[in-house]
C-alpha cells in the first residue's frame, strides 16, 4: 500500500498536505501529568479495544509503544509528520496507533489523552475531517470524552478548548518567500483567525519554503466554520503564490538556470546534505508546477521531501550513519527514485 503522501489530490502544486487533528480527554481519568502509570496502561488498553470495532479495509491499524522504538525510528515519524516532536522526545508510557499508509495517527498520552490525526495529500479538508470524525465517534462511544456544554471539549491547554480541532495545510510558497512577502502574509492571516508556522509546527524553522497554515480559534466556532475559513484563505494564498511565481518568471533565463541547476544536482550529486536536498527539491517542485522542468509526479516529489531527512535515511539503512555516509546514501536514493520516474 502506498503511503498517504503518494496519493493524487487537488492543488498539489502549492498544497502538499492536509491535516485534521482532534484533542480529546477521557472524562473518567485525570488529565495529563496527573495520570498514574497504571491509568496510562488502562487508557492504552481501552483505546485498543475501542478501535477493534472500526473497519478500515486494507488500511489496518498497528499499536506501537514508543518506548520500544529507538530515537531514530521516532524521529523518522516526525519527519513524515506522523507524530509531533514532543511525542517523539518523551516516549515513556506513550502509545501510537498508526495505519498502514500512515494517514491515521492517534497519539495516546501526549499533552492530551488522545490526539487523533488524519493526513491527506493535497487540499482535502473534507475527506480528512470525515475520517477523523468517524474515529472520534467510535472512541467517544467507548471511552466517553470530557465535554462541557459551554466550553465544549475540555483539553489540557486552554487554547484547544471548544472543538479541540486543529485543521492545517502544508503550503509550498517559494514564490512568496523569494518576494519576501511571508511576514506580511502572517500578519494578514492572523487577523483572520489563522496562524502560519514553520515546517514542523510551532517553534520550528522553515525547510524548503514549506509552511504550515492552521486555525487558531477553537472556542465559539464550529468545526465547519473553522475549516471553511481555512479553505477560503488557502485559496487566496494559492492565487498569491501563483502571481509571485509569475513575477519571478519575468527574468526567465535566471529562473530557468536556477531550476535546471537544482534538477541537475538531484539527478547527479554523489553527496547530498539534508539542507541541500530540501532546497533543491523546493526549486524543482516549483519548476515542475510552472512546466519549466520535465514532468515529475507530485507523489514522487512528496516521497523525496518526506523520506530524505537524516533519521529517515538511517532508518532505511537499519543503522546510525555518519554525516558523510548519510549524504552519500541520500544522494544515491534520490538519483534512484528520479531515474525510476
Indicate the annotated binding residues: 17-21, 81, 115, 166-170, 197-202
Residue 245's SS3 state is: helix
Cβ-in-10-Å burial (0-12, 13-18, 19+) of 224 comes to: exposed
Long-range contacts of 284-293 (CB under 8 A, 24+ apart): 284/259, 285/172, 285/174, 286/172, 286/174, 286/175, 286/245, 286/259, 287/259, 287/260, 287/262, 287/263, 289/13, 289/14, 289/245, 290/245, 290/249, 292/249, 292/255, 292/256, 292/259, 293/259, 293/260, 293/263
Enumerate residues 6+ apart whose C-beta is below 8 A from 279: 208, 262
DSSP label at 28? Answer: T
Report how far residue 25's alpha carbon sits from residue 42's, in angstroms, rounded to the nearest whole number.
14
Residue 157's SS3 state is: coil
CA atoms within 13 A on the CB side of 217: 18
Report how far residue 86's alpha carbon sits from residue 163's, in angstroms, rounded to the nearest whole number.
22
Report how far residue 170's alpha carbon sits from residue 187's, in angstroms, rounded to the nearest whole number.
18
CA atoms within 13 A on the CB side of 129: 20
Binding-site residues for ATP sit at: 17-21, 81, 115, 166-170, 197-202
CB 196 within 8 A of CB 169: no
Amino acid at each position: 500500500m502506498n503511503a498517504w503522501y503518494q496519493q493524487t489530490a487537488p492543488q498539489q502544486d502549492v498544497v502538499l498536505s492536509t491535516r485534521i487533528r482532534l484533542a480529546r480527554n477521557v472524562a473518567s481519568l485525570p488529565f495529563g501529568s496527573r495520570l498514574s502509570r497504571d491509568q496510562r496502561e488502562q487508557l492504552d488498553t481501552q483505546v485498543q479495544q475501542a478501535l477493534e470495532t472500526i473497519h478500515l479495509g486494507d488500511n489496518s491499524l498497528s499499536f506501537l509503544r514508543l518506548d520500544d522504538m529507538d530515537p531514530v525510528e521516532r524521529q523518522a515519524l516526525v519527519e513524515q509528520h506522523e507524530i509531533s516532536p514532543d511525542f517523539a522526545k518523551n516516549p515513556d508510557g506513550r502509545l501510537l496507533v498508526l495505519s498502514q499508509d500512515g494517514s491515521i495517527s492517534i497519539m495516546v498520552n501526549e499533552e492530551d489523552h488522545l490526539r487523533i490525526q488524519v493526513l491527506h495529500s493535497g487540499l482535502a479538508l473534507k475527506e480528512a475531517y470525515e475520517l477523523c470524525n468517524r474515529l472520534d465517534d467510535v472512541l467517544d462511544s467507548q471511552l466517553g470524552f470530557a465535554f462541557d456544554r459551554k466550553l465544549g471539549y475540555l483539553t489540557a491547554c486552554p487554547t484547544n478548548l471548544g472543538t479541540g480541532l486543529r485543521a492545517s495545510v502544508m503550503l509550498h510558497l517559494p514564490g512568496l518567500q523569494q518576494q519576501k512577502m511571508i511576514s506580511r502574509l502572517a500578519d494578514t492571516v492572523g487577523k483572520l483567525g489563522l496562524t502560519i508556522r514553520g515546517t514542523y509546527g510551532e517553534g520550528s524553522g522553515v525547510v524548503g519554503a514549506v509552511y504550515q497554515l492552521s486555525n487558531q480559534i477553537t472556542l465559539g466556532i464550529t468545526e465547519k466554520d473553522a475549516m471553511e475559513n481555512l479553505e477560503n484563505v488557502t485559496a487566496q494564498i494559492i492565487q498569491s503564490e501563483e502571481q509571485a511565481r509569475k513575477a519571478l518568471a519575468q527574468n526567465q533565463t535566471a529562473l530557468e538556470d536556477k531550476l535546471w541547476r537544482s534538477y541537475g544536482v538531484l539527478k547527479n550529486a554523489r553527496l547530498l546534505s539534508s539542507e541541500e536536498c530540501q532546497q533543491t527539491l523546493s526549486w524543482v517542485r516549483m519548476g515542475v508546477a510552472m512546466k519549466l522542468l520535465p514532468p515529475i509526479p507530485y507523489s514522487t516529489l512528496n516521497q523525496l521531501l518526506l523520506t530524505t531527512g537524516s533519521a529517515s535515511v538511517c532508518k532505511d539503512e537499519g543503522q546510525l550513519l555518519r554525516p558523510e555516509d548519510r549524504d552519500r546514501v541520500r544522494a544515491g536514493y534520490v538519483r534512484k527514485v528520479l531515474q525510476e520516474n
